[in-house]
Structure 1
Amino acid sequence: MKRTGKKTATDRNFVVALSRGLDVLRAFQPSDGLLGNQEIAARTNLPKPTVSRLTYTLTKLGYLTPVPRFEKYQLAPAAMALGYAALANLGVRHLSEPFREEVMRATGGAVAVGGRDRHSMIYFGQSRGSETVGVQLDVGSRVPIATSAMGRAYFWALEEDDRAELLRVLREHYGSRWPKMRDGLERAGETVAKHGFAISVGDWHDDIGAAGVALKLNDGTGPYAFNCGAPAFRFTEERLINDIGPRLLTMVRNIEAALGGLVPHSKKDDSKKLKSGGKVARVAEGIR
């Protein structure tokens, strides 16, 4: 995590202390048990004395539970309640469940829906069967925007201004690794324009293959994105292009219809993006 930017920090309406407190809560990941002030400081890039004051305050408010024996903390029920309340209000999570289950059974892949959290996508719905033992992700898991199928689909579903801002965030996050990430995003843009979905085969995780499709709504929320993934020996690039991706695209379009979402572009319209001067070509120039 990075500290609050100078521009944001000088905004008179922006409460820096609140932002830092939320960064402390964000530092806890699903696979974590306990975290100490030193670990939290390393994850948030905040000074340890500041972290100590924040963990003390969050403990008093009931969002953290101290474990004195180890001099560490864990998330308290009050913090978890915020997450569950958010999940309960995400209608797309509940409505999409039968659609996700159907695709999971038909493909043998794990099917998830997620939304953006900084430079990652975070799962808030997951359908996984016995055949997806190689995909150990669940609600609360994160996948990177730049290299995952879900993230790439989300990226290319953004409006131009929002995509430019996300580009800045990703470029800053990856630093010297950015050229490789940029190339993957460019290829994903061409795949989305041609097929309507993104893919990732070994880009995020060496032995995972997945397809991703964005979900765009007309209520001002999102976009969100779905993926369908499995071990790469089962979800090869060929199968992702010819089978998994089209199935997932149909699923998401059906969900959009059920939610009253936007009407998808036709394949003929999407193909125009690949032409010289098309949308993908213009945006790719900004990625560099």
Structure 2
Amino acid sequence: MSLTARRPLLPVDPPAVPAPTAPASPKPTPAAALDAFTGDPNFMTSLARGLVVIQAFTQQNPQMTISQLSVRTGLSRAAVRRCLYTLTKLGFAGAEDGSRYSLRPRMLSLSNTFTATSTLSTAAQPILERMSAALRESFSVATLDGEDIVYIARTTVDRVMVAVDLHIGSRLPAYCTSMGRVLLAYLPNDQLEHYLSRVNLIPHTTRTITSVEKLRLALRNVRRNGYALVDQELEVGLRSLAVPVYAPSGRVVATINLSGNAPRMSVLEMQTRFLPHLRNAANELGVFLR
């Protein structure tokens, strides 16, 4: 009886084990930023903590508990509790159910004070309203604050589709908005490089630029053309055009923009019909800064 020769078994490689990846560095909390002022006798830490708590409330998170605010701000629960106690006593915050806090309408007095005392904001509003009445479109003016743009004047028409309710004081990421691109493009080089080194380019739509090099190229184009046109990078269906507002020193201090529904308003129409109006408004606004 013949035996069938067995084929030798080949050694089997062990399954590949993926190399461990270094954990992502956690984003610094707002409270951690206050450490830079440790030792400064003129710095009011308690006031700074209160402002950190106020800024923690957003349109997406209008109500939060003490624990949630502690996590969001990086402040201790005790510090958050003291801040909320003070804000509640002064009428700037409150809790309907005793646990979930929100800001109160009195907070609007702070923004109204800024609007009333800001030359730029005061001068911009009637210019935007005049353009909006004549052209039946939505216009805004914004400045740069950190990594965001902040609206300081705005007019709207009902037909503009925007996922978020934009108003004076609203914030949007600078990298994917036309106003943000303008403000970034005219930053001094060292400030721009600092911004690019820390910004998190989140894709809001499939069109959003998420590469630093592509963003850098887009900003160079803004400087060359003198305007920024962003096509559905923040929201599908939303197209916007922005131009710079210059101070007498030649520094760009703000930007003015037009927002429109992409299917209704073409890129060509923005560039040929509306760009001259934006530039005229920016020149008019710049006069008030002299």
TM range (shorter): 0.7 to 0.9
Q: Do the aligned partners of 1:122 and 1:142 also contact (CA within 8 Å) in 2?
A: yes
Identity between Structure 1 and Structure 2 (%): 23
Question: 2:200 aligned with 1:174, yes or no?
Answer: yes
Aligned to 1:131: 159
**Any idea what SS the aligned residue of 2:31 has?**
coil
Whole-angstrom CA distance in 1 between matches of 2:67 and 2:250: 39
Provide the alpha-carbon RMSD of the alignment.
Answer: 3.1
Amino acid at match of 1:127: T
Aligned to 1:144: 173
Whole-angstrom CA distance in 1 between matches of 2:38 and 2:251: 27
Per-residue CA distance 1:132-151 (angstroms, 9 max, x = gap): 25474222222111110111
Gap runs ≥5 in structure 2: 1-28
Question: 2:55 aligned with 1:26, yes or no?
Answer: yes
Q: Return 240-249 or 3-12, whichever deviates more.
A: 3-12
Paired residues, number: 256
Which of the pair has more CA radius of gyration? 2
* Residues 32 and 192 of structure 1: CA distance in aligned 2, closer, same or farther (over 3 Å): same
Aligned to 1:230: 260
Whole-angstrom CA distance in 2 between matches of 1:25 and 1:55: 9
Question: Which residue of 128, 137, 140 maps to 1:100?
Answer: 128
Q: Where is the helix percentage greater, Structure 1 or Structure 2?
A: 1
* Residues 11 and 87 of structure 1: CA distance in aligned 2, closer, same or farther (over 3 Å): farther
Q: What displacement does 1:236 show?
A: 3.3
Aligned to 2:240: 210
* Residues 115 and 245 of structure 1: CA distance in aligned 2, closer, same or farther (over 3 Å): same
**Any idea what SS the aligned residue of 2:210 has?**
helix
Q: Return 141-150 or 44-53, whichever deviates more.
A: 44-53
Gap runs ≥5 in structure 1: 261-288
Q: What displacement does 1:232 show?
A: 1.7
* Residues 77 and 104 of structure 1: CA distance in aligned 2, closer, same or farther (over 3 Å): closer
Whole-angstrom CA distance in 2 between matches of 1:167 and 1:11: 30
Whole-angstrom CA distance in 1 between matches of 2:260 and 2:224: 23
* Residues 220 and 185 of structure 1: CA distance in aligned 2, closer, same or farther (over 3 Å): same
- TM-score normalised according to structure 1 size: 0.75
Aligned to 1:245: 275
- TM-score normalised according to structure 2 size: 0.74
Whole-angstrom CA distance in 2 between matches of 1:219 and 1:125: 22
